Amino acid sequence: MSVWQGLLRKLGLEGAAAGRAPLRVFLLDDDVLRHEWFAAKFKRDQLDIAVEPVRAVELLSAGSYDAIFLDHDLLPRHYKRQEEPDDAHTGYAVAAWLAERPGAHPTASVFVHTRNADGAMRMVELMRRAGRTAEYVPYPYLGDKIKQHFRR
């Protein structure tokens, strides 16, 4: 990497200099700090955020996205152990919606970034059974995955 490329990367201008079109990024997450983190990672791109599954489906129905990031555990049931899965109030509901609609965002990269590994794997397996490409990336490793996948 040249000094010039390094400087552009440091300033967050690398994609713009390369002429890359802005990405359309969708995020389902209930944590405001994560919203800020994603906004910083995708500062030159369009980022749409939902904090609940119903709103997520509305946005996904109306828009077109290059990347979709889904959390599993959402408020008010955030991190509470349930005897029965409460799929309608978690990211699983959005994964199910995507699995039922293979034509919706067919080229989008789908990442499940929850710390709940069991919930994440249920979401990923559901989407994969439907023919979608989806990947579980634990949140602590997500920054590296974004850099690698989107060359940031």
**What is the CATH classification number for the domain harbouring 78?**
3.40.50.2300
Is 16 domain-assigned?
no
Domain count, the chain: 1
Is 41 domain-assigned?
yes
Is 108 domain-assigned?
yes
Per DSSP, the three-state class of 92 is helix
Is 12 domain-assigned?
no
**Residues 54/90, Cβ–Cβ less than 8 Å:** no
**Whole-number Å distance between alpha carbons of 34 and 144:** 15
pLDDT in tens, 7-50: 555 555 555 445 568 999 999 999 999 999 999 999 999 999 99
Is 101 domain-assigned?
yes
* Cis preceding-peptide flag for 76 (omega within 30 of 0): yes
**Whole-number Å distance between alpha carbons of 28 and 19:** 28
Mean of the per-residue pLDDT values of the chain: 85
For 97, the domain range is 22-150
Closest CA to 52 of 73, 22, 33: 73
Is 11 domain-assigned?
no
At 19 the pLDDT is: 58
Q: For residue 89, what pLDDT band results from cuts at 50, 70 and 90?
A: confident
Is 129 domain-assigned?
yes
